[in-house]
C-alpha cells in the first residue's frame, strides 16, 4: 500500500496546496481543524454522498498538509484515471470480492512509521442504513486512533473533528462517532450517512 505520491514531492505539494486553497476560495468552502500531530491514524471520510467528495477531501489534505492514502472504488482506476488517482494517493478497493482490505491495511500500518488512511465508512455514495465497520477493525488491529473527518455541504466547511481512541467496544464507540456526524450534511442528504 505504501508508495510515493504527489505528497512526497516538494514542489508538487506546494503547488497543489496553493491550487487547493484557490479551489476552496472559488467554491466558497472553508477548512476547519488542524492536522493531528500523530504518526498514524485512520480518518473517516463522511458523509460520502457525491463524487465531489474526493476533490474536496484531496483539497483538505493539501491545505492541512496531510499525506493520505484514500480508499476508493476500484472501478475508477481504469486508464487514464488510474495512474493519476494513485499519484494523488488513492487506493483501489474492489468491493465485488473479498480482498482482505482490513488485514492488508493493518499490515501496512505495522510496516510504516507514518501512515494516514482515509476510509469512507458507508463504502458507497448510495443511501445506507449502517456503516461498514472496516475502518474500526483497521484502527483496532493497527492500534491507531480514528480521526473524524467531514465535509458539511450545508455550511461549506470541511475538516478534522475529534480523535477517537477505539476501546474495543465497537457498539459504544460507534454511537459516539456517529453522534458527531448527526448535524453534518452531505451533498445529497438522501444518501449515505
6 with 88: CB under 8 angstroms? yes
C-alpha atoms less than 13 angstroms from C-alpha of 144 in its C-beta half-sphere: 30
> Per-residue pLDDT tens for 85-121?
888 888 788 766 677 888 888 998 999 899 999 998 8
H-helix or E-strand containing 32? strand 30-32
> Per-residue pLDDT tens for 5-60?
878 888 888 999 999 999 999 999 999 999 999 999 999 988 888 888 989 999 99
Alpha-carbon span 31 to 20, nearest angstrom: 10
pLDDT at 42: 96
User: CB 144: neighbour CB atoms within 10 A?
Assistant: 21
Alpha-carbon span 94 to 79, nearest angstrom: 16
- The beta strand positions in 29-185, using DSSP E, are 30-32, 40-46, 68-73, 90-93, 115-119, 146-152, 157-164
H-helix or E-strand containing 18? helix 10-27
61 with 35: CB under 8 angstroms? no
- Which residue is listed with cell 444518501? 191
pLDDT at 184: 93
Strands 68-73, 146-152: parallel, antiparallel or unpaired by DSSP?
A: unpaired
Task: Give the CA angle between residues 161, 162, 166 to the nearest 5°.
Answer: 135
Beta-ladder partners of 42? 117, 146
Residues whose CB falls within 8 Å of the CB of residue 35, separated by 6 or more in sequence, listed in order: 64, 65, 66, 160
Amino acid at each position: 500500500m505504501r508508495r510515493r505520491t504527489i505528497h512526497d514531492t516538494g514542489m508538487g505539494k506546494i503547488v497543489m496546496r496553493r491550487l487547493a486553497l484557490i479551489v476552496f476560495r472559488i467554491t466558497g468552502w472553508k477548512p476547519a481543524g488542524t492536522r493531528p500531530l500523530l504518526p498514524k491514524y485512520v480518518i473517516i471520510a463522511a458523509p460520502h454522498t457525491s463524487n465531489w467528495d474526493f476533490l474536496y477531501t484531496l483539497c483538505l489534505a493539501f491545505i492541512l498538509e496531510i499525506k493520505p492514502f484514500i480508499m476508493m472504488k476500484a472501478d475508477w482506476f481504469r486508464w487514464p484515471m488510474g495512474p493519476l488517482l494513485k499519484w494523488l494517493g488513492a487506493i483501489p478497493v474492489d468491493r465485488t470480492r473479498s480482498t482482505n482490505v482490513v488485514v492488508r491495511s493493518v499490515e501496512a500500518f505495522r510496516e510504516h512509521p507514518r501512515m494516514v488512511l482515509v476510509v469512507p465508512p458507508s463504502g458507497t455514495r448510495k443511501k445506507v442504513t449502517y456503516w461498514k465497520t472496516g475502518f474500526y477493525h483497521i484502527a483496532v488491529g493497527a492500534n491507531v486512533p480514528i480521526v473524524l473527518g467531514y465535509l458539511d455541504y450545508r455550511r461549506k466547511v470541511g475538516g478534522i473533528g475529534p480523535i477517537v481512541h477505539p476501546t474495543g467496544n465497537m457498539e459504544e464507540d460507534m454511537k459516539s462517532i456517529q453522534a458527531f456526524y448527526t448535524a453534518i450534511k452531505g451533498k445529497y442528504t438522501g444518501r449515505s450517512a
